[in-house]
């Protein structure tokens, strides 16, 4: 479920995250990897990934109210996925709920737990 959730966000927002969500930073093209590796050190840091996903949240939040309703998230999440991420069950995803999920996915992909994803 979590991999599908992240994959859904990724497919809607950017190809680089799609490869990461499928569990394989090695699946990124060089151009995709470079898009996430903003400091060009050859790896994607937790901070780089977080900044990218914060931007993704902002793009999804079309009414700019700081939350994602089911319509805003509906292009990237099924209703079941939305319910899983909506931890407080208020029918909206706040920024923290969104980031908690995607950062959990980052940590799961960080096999050696060094805070970086590498090709």
What DSSP string runs through the chain?
Answer: -HHHHHHHHHHHH-HHHHHHHTT-GGGS-HHHHHHH-TT-SSSEEHHHHHHHHHHHHHHH-TT-SSEEEHHHHTTT--HHHHHHH-TT-SSEEEHHHHHHHHHHHHHHH-TT-SSEE--
pTM of the model: 0.74
Residue 118 has pLDDT above 70, yes or no: yes
The 10s digit of each residue's pLDDT in 7-55 is 445 544 544 444 554 455 555 678 878 888 999 999 999 999 999 889 9
In a domain, 118, yes or no: no
Residue 4 has pLDDT above 50, yes or no: no
In a domain, 10, yes or no: yes
Give me the CATH number covering residue 22.
1.10.238
Domain count, the chain: 1
The 10s digit of each residue's pLDDT in 63-92 is 999 999 999 988 777 899 899 999 999 999
What range defines the domain where residue 10 resides? 2-110
In a domain, 115, yes or no: no
């Amino acid at each position: 479920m979590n991999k599908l959730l992240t994959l859904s966000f990724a497919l809607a927002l950017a190809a680089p995250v799609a490869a990461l969500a499928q569990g394989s930073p090695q699946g990124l093209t060089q151009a995709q990897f470079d898009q996430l590796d903003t400091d060009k050190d050859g790896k994607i840091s937790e901070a780089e990934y977080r900044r990218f996903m914060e931007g993704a949240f902002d793009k999804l939040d079309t009414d700019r109210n700081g939350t994602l309703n089911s319509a805003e998230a509906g292009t990237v999440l099924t209703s079941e996925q939305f319910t899983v991420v909506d931890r407080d069950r208020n029918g909206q995803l706040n920024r923290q709920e969104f980031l908690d999920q995607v950062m959990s996915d980052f940590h799961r992909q960080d096999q050696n737990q060094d805070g970086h994803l590498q090709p």
